[in-house]
Structures are given as C-alpha cells and as structure tokens.
Amino acid sequence: MHTRTLGPFTVTAIGLGCMNLSHAYGIPPSAEQGERLLRAALDAGVTLFDTAALYGFGANETLVGRVLKAERSRITLCSKGGMAGVAGDDGVTRRVIDGRPEAIFRDCENSLRRLQTDVIDLYYLHRWDKKVPVEESVGALSRLVEQGKVRTIGLSEVGAQTIRKAHAVHPVTAVQTEYSLWTRNAEIAVLGACRELGINFVAFSPVARGFLCDAVPDVRTFDAKDIRRTMPRFDPENHARNLQLLPPYKELAREAGCTPAQLALAWLLHQGEYVLPIPGTTNVEHLHEDLAAADVKLSPDLLRRVGALINEKTVAGNRYSEQSNREVDTEVF
C-alpha cells in the first residue's frame, strides 16, 4: 500500500470514509454488511478510518469501534465533534451544530465510549459554530489534547481565514473539506493555507457522491432519506446537464487505463503529497477498486485535460442548498 504522512502519523494514501455505512445515502447497509466492509478494508491494509459523532447519530462510531478495536494499535482513527444528534423535547433526535466547549467535551466523551478507545488520533471540529469564536472551540480541542483524549486536532468545512485563526491557538493537523474534480472550492484559498502552514488536506466525497463513478444514472430513484435530494447538482435539470460530461470523462479514464472512480481519486492524489482522499463505499469490490487508484499514474497532459473537462465552470448547480451553504465557512466561486 502507498502511504503518506498525516501529521505525526503514517497512513495509507487512500483512507476510508465510514459515513455511508450508517448515514446519508438512503437506507444504510446492515451492521453485518458494514462489518464485512470494514474488515475487508483492514485486510487490504487500510490504516486511515474516518467517522463522526453525527453519522447515524452515533451508530457509525459504535460500528467502527466494535470492528476496529482489535486493530486499534495499527490504524489511525479519526472522528468529529461539534455537530451531533441531540434529542429534543418531543423525543426526536435532530442534528445540532454546537461549538461551545462543554458540547465539544460531551461529544468527545461519547465518541470515546462508542469507539471503545482511550484516545482519538485526529479529532475534528465537524462544523464551525458561527455563534462561538473558532478560537474558543479550538481551545476546547487543545484541552482534550492536554488531557490525552485526543492526539491531534482538525477542522472541517472552514475557510482560510478561519484556519489561520485556529492554527494560532493550537497546531491544526488536518483540514477536511469536500474536494473533487467537480467541487473545487478548496482551490480558492484553503489549499494554499494548508501548504503554507504545513497542514494536511483530507478530501471527502472525492468521487462526487457517486457521480464520477458513473453510478447515478437516474436521480428519481434516490431514497427519500438520500441527502443528494437536497443538493442542487442532483436536481433533474442540472443532473441532465452534468451527465453530458460523463462520456468524454470515461474516455479519459480509458486513456489512463483505469476506471472513472480511479481517475477521480488519482487526480486528487496528484494534487500534492499533503492531500489524502477518503472515499466511502458499502461494496467490497468498489473498495478494492478505489484503493487501486493509488497505483494510477497520470501524465501532466492528462491531468490538464481532465481538470479542464470537469470543474466549477462546467458543472451545473451548487454543491449545497442555501441552508447547508450557510452552515459552512468555505470560500465560494
């Protein structure tokens, strides 16, 4: 397996995003299927695993903790707090962004319990709660480091100015944001800030939520709980326009001697050694396909052509709804 550094850790160049084993894309797989996928990742040599308190309102961390605890010493375990499921007075659990120190401490304790571990290797602020100065939230993360409950800290979905403010309080090991051929917001300023400050960049949704795998032929088949239903790029009109990008894209993948998913991941890996993609999947065959992308070599000319084909100017629709855009801090084109 190809490896890269993630702060003080040496990890596989391609990690595993565990979210969709419990959350987000409709009805999740069974716990048995999720365990099979996680064990296949371990068997394949994956050492970077990413989860969060939010995913499945704790179910994902519970699954990951149960399956990975026997291999804890050889993996880098990442989770996130500051956004979690909170039960309301009506008994319904809802997603809540809360960056107050007391909420971050509570989230971390819950994550440690569910993950069945004494320490989380990389703990992210899942969202910056804009009602709380980021310095205050990062101060709470730094205290978790001092207490030995967290080894390193990260931020998710924040812009360059926020990264610099946070890094001044405590060294930030990684910034995690959506990044792929069709989501280039990180290129505005975040990637530059990460390079300048020596911070790793972890790319989630690196295959464009299935689009760059050629796995979304008909958006009308999405499950009622599939989060893509709220994403403008997947509304029928925009999706129809975006589908026109796939035939020339698949031709470039054939030229590269790889699959469309592998081309998307290889393109990310070629953006710099500090970039680590974390694709997610529920399918063991797809897992092995994704991991093999680390072996794909792309010429400068092919990199240029694939980047020119799919980018912020050629893709129709915003990546998030207006509500979701208000909750993140990333720069926009």
Residue 225's identity, in one-letter code, is K
What is d(CA 38, CA 67) in angstroms, rounded to the nearest whole number?
7
What is d(CA 202, CA 276) in angstroms, rounded to the nearest whole number?
5
Cα separation of the two ends of the chain: 36
**25 noted as active-site residue:** no
Of the candidates 299, 317, 319, 316, which has an alpha carbon nearest to the alpha carbon of residue 307?
299
What is d(CA 190, CA 319) in angstroms, rounded to the nearest whole number?
17
Helix or strand (DSSP H, E) at 253: helix 246-256
What is d(CA 6, CA 94) in angstroms, rounded to the nearest whole number?
32
Catalytic annotation, pick one of 55, 123, 124, 320? 55
What is d(CA 18, CA 233) in angstroms, rounded to the nearest whole number?
23
Catalytic residues, by residue number, are: 55
